[in-house]
Structure 1
Amino acid sequence: MAVQKDVSKSGIIRRPALRASAKIFLYFILLGVLFWIADSFFQYYFFSSNLHFMINKVPESVADSMLFTASAYSIFVRFIFLSFCILGGFLISLHIKGKEAAEDDLKHSEEKFRSLAESSQDLILLTSGGRDIEYVNPAVEKILGYSPEEITGRDFLSLVSPKSGNNITDIVNNIHNVGNDTFLLRIGRSDGTEALIEFSLSAVDNKGDSGAVQYVGRDISELAEAKKQHEEALIQIENNLNQFAILNDEIRNPLAIIVGTADFLDSEESEIIIRQADIINGLVAELDIKWLESSKIREYLIKHYNFSFERVSVKDE
């Protein structure tokens, strides 16, 4: 016959056998019954005043006499002891049952945490004392190129790049005072490159280890690289704007000299030169307008997107 398993609402599968709390309760009841029987035998054989009655009776009557033919005081003592056994067994079984429920809840929480960690795209590490890695989820293979088995047992600080600039040791030592913290770290990948990871650090109690620290990290390497390229492009735009302003001035100066010289010539060629110079001057004026519009866009980016442009002069180029 198949044994049915009791599945609780929390999802924990109960053991088909008696739990420790029920066993303890039954043991105490059995202890009380055994005391009752043992006391009956003891009193009958050593303190009975009617030995002749015991000898002349058949075995069934002897058993009846031992168990039931006793003084009221003896029965009272037996009853009190049996009651204490039942009460003690009940209280102890309640205590054990509470511990069993707590263990089940803890097991359920661990299974739930592990299930979430296994499916998470973020890097999750559980360390002892903030350093020795006791658990790492499978996301480490995608982010760092290591298998969980390669990382487990290693010192977390051995993965941190010296370029990080954060004193991770001080942060870890202080985490139990602040509770949690967030910072950026450069972590070495298996191929020799580095990943920029934003870690959320928190102190946890891992099976009695009050010094345990949990790291939850998100790889922002691509985001940081995209932001860097974006800022470099904007800086280049700023440099181009500066070059346009300088170029306009450099065009106007010789253009003014050309127009002045053409005025002295007083010929048909000079009129042609002056007309062409006016066309060039109009183009330069349009460039000035475009430069002003671009400057407004630059100021908008600085104001609303917090970009800071590094000016590079033409001479530096």
Structure 2
Amino acid sequence: ITEGRRAEEALRESEMLFRSLVENINDLILNMDETSTFTYVSPKSQDILGYAPEELLGKTPCDFMPPGKAERVGLRLAALLADPGPGILFEWTMLHRNGATVTLDVSGTPVYDPMGDFTGYRVVCRDITERVRATKRVAQWKSFLYSVVNNIPSMVFVQEVEEGTFVFSNEAAGAFLGMTREEMTGKQAGDLFSPEMAALFGDGYREVQDQLTVLEEQIHLPDGRILFLKKIPIFDSRGMLRYMLGIAEDVTTGR
């Protein structure tokens, strides 16, 4: 067997291994030439985008993107193709055959021929559509909860237990205490209140640290007002006490 034949067989084996790999992973593999035209598309395109590989060959990523996204990606691709770097990493928003948007996490590696000339990029695309949607839902839910907590009539504040600093207070707490959220955030009770008031807040989070349970009490303020205060321990994912949530109502007679 000649050296040429051995080289051909080794090349065929390498190609078979490559195709076996890319056709059996969950990521979409693409080869783009120096004009950003697809020259290879793995079968995963059918699952991710609803198109068979042959339907994408000869097209560019921008052909399957919403107009606004296509323009921005086209400009970035042009810059990358004009001056190839060690790799690319960004997101593509593409259109599925059914019209739905698909978000892909894209990484690419420049490809060179045996003479060292740049011939395009080999691109790996991971479908992160559900992750992006979940992140958006969490952000929307946080915004909703923030709006609710910030506008309820009860006073709400959160102290970080290690240092006793305030990390959140709602509008009602600020109005009652006569200061803004910005003035309270990052400060300890001793930085903000008289010694008597500071002791009330300081004792609150220390009690929660000691007992690790929900505590309720009436607090008589120096100015004669009475608060009903619930102190709730908040734990992190490791079960460590991280914050004290305080919820208070003014129960002064006649108010």
TM-score normalised over the length of structure 2 = 0.56
The Cα offsets for residues 165-204 of structure 1, whole Å up to 9 and x where unpaired, read as 443323431563x221110111111112211101011112
Corresponding position of 2:37: 132
Distance 1:104 1:175 in 2: 35
Give SS of 1:120's match. Answer: coil
The Cα offsets for residues 28-48 of structure 1, whole Å up to 9 and x where unpaired, read as xxxxxxxxxxxxxxxxxxxxx
Shift of 1:214: 1.1
Give SS of 1:212's match. Answer: strand
Q: How many positions carry a matched residue from both structures?
A: 169
CA contact (8 A) 1:140 1:147 kept: yes
Distance 2:50 2:10 in 1: 34
Corresponding position of 1:201: 108
Give SS of 2:123's match. Answer: strand
Residue 108, structure 1, aligned to residue 3, structure 2: no
Structure with max Cα Rg: 1
Identity of aligned residues (%): 24
Residue 155, structure 1, aligned to residue 60, structure 2: yes
Distance 1:157 1:115 in 2: 28
Shift of 1:101: 3.3
Question: Superposed, which structure 2 residues align to 1:199-238 within 5 Å?
Answer: 199-205=106-112, 210-238=118-146
Distance 2:11 2:127 in 1: 30
Shift of 1:104: 2.8
CA contact (8 A) 1:128 1:212 kept: yes
Is the strand fraction higher in 1 or 2?
2
Is the helix fraction higher in 1 or 2?
1
Distance 1:147 1:206 in 2: 28
Gaps (5+ residues) in structure 1? 1-18, 22-96, 254-278, 299-303, 305-317
TM-score normalised over the length of structure 1 = 0.46
CA contact (8 A) 2:81 2:120 kept: no
- Look up the equivalent residue of 1:197 and give its one-letter code: L
Question: Superposed, which structure 2 residues align to 1:169-180 within 5 Å?
Answer: 169-174=77-82, 176=84, 178-180=85-87
Distance 2:139 2:104 in 1: 20
- Look up the equivalent residue of 2:95 and give its one-letter code: G
Question: Superposed, which structure 2 residues align to 1:237-252 within 5 Å?
Answer: 237-244=145-152, 246-247=153-154, 249=172
Corresponding position of 2:253: none
- Look up the equivalent residue of 2:13 and give its one-letter code: H
Give SS of 2:98's match. Answer: coil
Change (3 A) 1:123 1:179: same
Corresponding position of 1:289: 230
Gaps (5+ residues) in structure 2? 156-171, 177-217, 221-225, 237-241, 243-255
Runs ≥4 residues deviating over 6 A: 206-209
The Cα offsets for residues 12-42 of structure 1, whole Å up to 9 and x where unpaired, read as xxxxxxx4x4xxxxxxxxxxxxxxxxxxxxx
Distance 2:6 2:35 in 1: 30
Give SS of 1:230's match. Answer: helix
RMSD after superposition: 3.4
